Structure 1
Amino acid sequence: MRCPFCGNVDTQVKDSRPAEDHAAIRRRRHCTQCGGRFTTYERVQLRDLVVIKSNGRREEFDRDKLSRSIRIALQKRPMEPERMDQIISGIVRRLESLGDTDVRSDRIGEIVMETLQRVDTVAYVRFASVYKNFQAPDDFEDFVSELRPKAPEG
């Protein structure tokens, strides 16, 4: 593993332990050249996913991009980082199990929305505001009104 600080390829594993509810292995590494320490994660990857964007462009699936968007939605919410990692791993596993290596970007957005709706309503609204491209306060109001339980008629 290449050192992110100096580029040296001779790094040593100092500690390994399960992470993300045993879905990954966390490794603490040490660079023999510069002395830098860093962490890597080893995860099972069932298949290489390709994202098909709305304009038809294709790009390699980027787990870090998914992770960033979910972490932004969950920012300052009462959730442990380990739980966030589990959520992200669960979404990736679900995408990999769809049966096809090509996944439409809107399908990824739907899966993230479904997951966040079950996990944290505020994060769900935050993610939706970007995913659905809210432009005005009324967009928020309309969306949130759909979340409220309907009053019984009578």
Structure 2
Amino acid sequence: MRCPFCGHEESQVVETRESDEGDVIRRRRRCLSCDTRFTTYERAEVTMPSVVKKDGSRAEFDPAKIRASMTLALRKRPVSLEQIDAAMQRIEQKLRSSGLREVPSSKLGEFVMRELKKLDKVAYVRFASVYRSFEDVDEFSRLIKEI
């Protein structure tokens, strides 16, 4: 690791600590040239796949958009923030483990619908009715009969 003070290319690790969450390693280092101490942080770099929209355009995966959609569907429903966070983590884990560089927005919507179905049936119907753009009451009743 290059020293940020003198630019020397060698340093010695004096102390290593893992964060409470276990996702970051903090290292105290000492420059072998100027003897100055400095801290570095090490974390895994994980990239999420891009989302391919219906019109063919691509966008970065934005967990805030997914959370907003889920929160809207779950409005005034007896579901805790912890349950929403856990569902978000499962969705993100599915995306990471898929190994895909791009994921269609339709597949992402299906992941969200599966999680909502587990959390709350009413929220699932709310989200599905908007997501699938129901045209008539028959489509809506078919969805309710599925549940």
**TM-score grouping bracket, smaller chain normalisation:** 0.5 to 0.7
Amino acid at match of 2:141: E
Which residue of structure 2 lines up, in the alignment, with residue 79 of structure 1? 79
Residues 123, 83 of structure 1: alpha-carbon distance in 2 compared, 3 angstrom cutoff = same
Percent identity for Structure 1 against Structure 2: 39
Query: Aligned residue pairs: how many?
Result: 111
Cα distance in 1 for residues equivalent to 2:78 and 2:106? 27
Which residue of structure 2 lines up, in the alignment, with residue 114 of structure 1? 114
Which residue of structure 2 lines up, in the alignment, with residue 92 of structure 1? 92
Which residue of structure 2 lines up, in the alignment, with residue 51 of structure 1? 51
Cα distance in 2 for residues equivalent to 1:111 and 1:102? 15
Aligned structure 1 segments of 4 or more residues deviating by more than 6 angstroms: none
Which residue of structure 2 lines up, in the alignment, with residue 34 of structure 1? none
Cα distance in 1 for residues equivalent to 2:103 and 2:112? 13
Residues 93, 135 of structure 1: alpha-carbon distance in 2 compared, 3 angstrom cutoff = same
Which residue of structure 1 lines up, in the alignment, with residue 26 of structure 2? none
Amino acid at match of 1:70: M
Residues 145, 45 of structure 1: alpha-carbon distance in 2 compared, 3 angstrom cutoff = farther
Task: Report the RMSD for the aligned CA atoms in angstroms.
Answer: 2.6
Name structure 1 gaps, 5 residues minimum.
1-17, 25-43, 148-154
Within a 5 Å distance, the mapping from 1:124-139 to structure 2 comes to 124-139=124-139
Preserved contact between residue 48 and residue 61 of structure 2 (Cα < 8 Å):
yes
TM-score normalised by L of structure 1: 0.63
Residues 94, 45 of structure 1: alpha-carbon distance in 2 compared, 3 angstrom cutoff = farther
Cα distance in 1 for residues equivalent to 2:111 and 2:141? 23
Shift of 1:45: 6.3
TM-score normalised by L of structure 2: 0.66
CA shift digits 1:6-54 (9 cap, x unpaired): xxxxxxxxxxxx7xxx699xxxxxxxxxxxxxxxxxxx76213210112
Name structure 2 gaps, 5 residues minimum.
1-19, 24-43
